[in-house]
Amino acid sequence: MMAWIGGSSMKLKTISLLAMAGFAAACGSDGEQGPPGPAGTSTTGSEQGSASVVSPNKAVLDRELDVQLGFSGSNFTDATKPTIDFGPGITVGDVKVSSPTLLIAHVTIAKDAPIGPKTIKVGNIEATDAFTVVPAIEVKVGDKSGASGDQGSLAQFVIENNDSKAFDTAQGGFGLVDTDFLDLGSSATGPVAGTGLFLVPPLAPAGKKQLTFANLDAQGKPRLSFLSSAEAFEVVAHTPTALANDTPKDEVFGDVYDSKLYKLSAAGAAIVDYRVEVAGNQGTLPYTFVFGTGGKASDLITRNGPPSSLFGTAPPPYDLHAILPVVGAGDYYFVTADLSGSANQKMKVTGTVVNATVTPEPAAAHDQTAPFTVATLPATDGLIVTGELNGEDEFDAYKITGAPGDKIQIAVTATKDREIEVVLTKDPTVIAEADGTPDPDRKVLGYVWAPNYGTNATITLSGQTDLFVVIHKDPETKGSALGKYVFSARKVQ
How do residues 326-371 score in pLDDT, each as one tens digit?
A: 999 999 999 999 999 999 999 999 999 999 999 999 999 999 999 9
| Residue 294 or residue 440, greater confidence | 294
- State residue 49's pLDDT score: 60
Percent of the chain with pLDDT over 70: 88
Phi, psi of 444 (to 5 degrees): -80, 125
- State residue 193's pLDDT score: 86
| Nearest in space to 236 (alpha carbons), one of 210, 196, 263, 200 | 200
User: Is pLDDT of 2 > 90?
Assistant: no
Q: What is the DSSP letter of 217?
A: -
User: Is pLDDT of 127 > 50?
Assistant: yes
Mean pLDDT of 388-417: 92
Query: Residue 372: how many CB atoms within 10 A of its CB?
Result: 18
Q: What is the DSSP letter of 298?
A: G
- State residue 268's pLDDT score: 97
In whole angstroms, what is the distance from residue 154 CA to residue 202 CA? 11
- Per the document, the length of the chain is 493
User: Is pLDDT of 33 > 60?
Assistant: no
In whole angstroms, what is the distance from residue 332 CA to residue 352 CA? 12
Which of the residue ranges 138-147, 194-203, 242-251 would you say has the lowest mean pLDDT? 138-147
Burial class of 390 by CB neighbour count within 10 A (0 to 12, 13 to 18, 19+):
exposed
- State residue 469's pLDDT score: 97
Q: Which of 169-173, 199-203, 435-439, 461-465 has the highest mean pLDDT?
A: 199-203
- State residue 430's pLDDT score: 96
- State residue 139's pLDDT score: 80
Residue 272 near residue 362, CB atoms below 8 Å:
no
- State residue 478's pLDDT score: 78
Q: Look over the chain and give the mean of its residue pLDDT values, rounded to a whole number.
A: 87
User: Is pLDDT of 165 > 80?
Assistant: yes
Q: How confident is the model at residue 310 (pLDDT cuts 50, 70, 90)?
A: confident
- State residue 46's pLDDT score: 44
- State residue 125's pLDDT score: 87
In whole angstroms, what is the distance from residue 111 CA to residue 222 CA? 14
In whole angstroms, what is the distance from residue 44 CA to residue 30 CA? 36
Q: How confident is the model at residue 72 (pLDDT cuts 50, 70, 90)?
A: confident
Q: How confident is the model at residue 477 (pLDDT cuts 50, 70, 90)?
A: confident
| Residue 157 or residue 492, greater confidence | 492
- State residue 454's pLDDT score: 52
Mean pLDDT of 251-264: 96
Which of the residue ranges 2-6, 67-71, 119-123, 413-417 would you say has the lowest mean pLDDT? 2-6
In whole angstroms, what is the distance from residue 468 CA to residue 396 CA? 10
| Residue 454 or residue 312, greater confidence | 312
- State residue 239's pLDDT score: 98
* Domains of the chain as residue ranges with CATH: 9-20+136-236 (2.60.40), 44-110+119-132 (2.60.40.10), 241-356 (2.60.120.380), 361-492 (2.60.120.380)
Q: How confident is the model at residue 474 (pLDDT cuts 50, 70, 90)?
A: confident
Strands 396-401 and 466-473: antiparallel
Residue 352 near residue 443, CB atoms below 8 Å:
no
- State residue 104's pLDDT score: 97
pLDDT tens string 76-90: 999 989 999 999 999
| Residue 70 or residue 416, greater confidence | 70
Mean pLDDT of 3-15: 34
CA distances from 69 to 89, 269, 366 (A): 19, 67, 75
Percent of the chain with pLDDT over 90: 72
- State residue 348's pLDDT score: 98
Residues with Cβ within 8 Å of residue 226, at least 6 apart in sequence = 60, 136, 137, 159, 161, 163, 165, 167, 212, 213, 214
In whole angstroms, what is the distance from residue 385 CA to residue 440 CA? 30
CA distances from 229 to 207, 348, 387, 404 (A): 14, 40, 47, 63
Residue 444 near residue 433, CB atoms below 8 Å:
yes
Q: Which of 23-27, 53-57, 121-125 has the highest mean pLDDT?
A: 53-57
Buried b (16+ CB within 10 A) or exposed e, 449-486: bbbbbbbbbbbebeeeebbbbbbbbbeeeeeebbeebb
Q: How confident is the model at residue 119 (pLDDT cuts 50, 70, 90)?
A: very high
Q: How confident is the model at residue 146 (pLDDT cuts 50, 70, 90)?
A: confident
User: Is pLDDT of 388 > 60?
Assistant: yes
In whole angstroms, what is the distance from residue 17 CA to residue 158 CA? 6
In three-state form (DSSP H/G/I as H, E/B as E, the rest C), the secondary structure along 135-147 is CCCEEEECCEECE
Phi, psi of 442 (to 5 degrees): -75, 140
In whole angstroms, what is the distance from residue 374 CA to residue 399 CA? 6
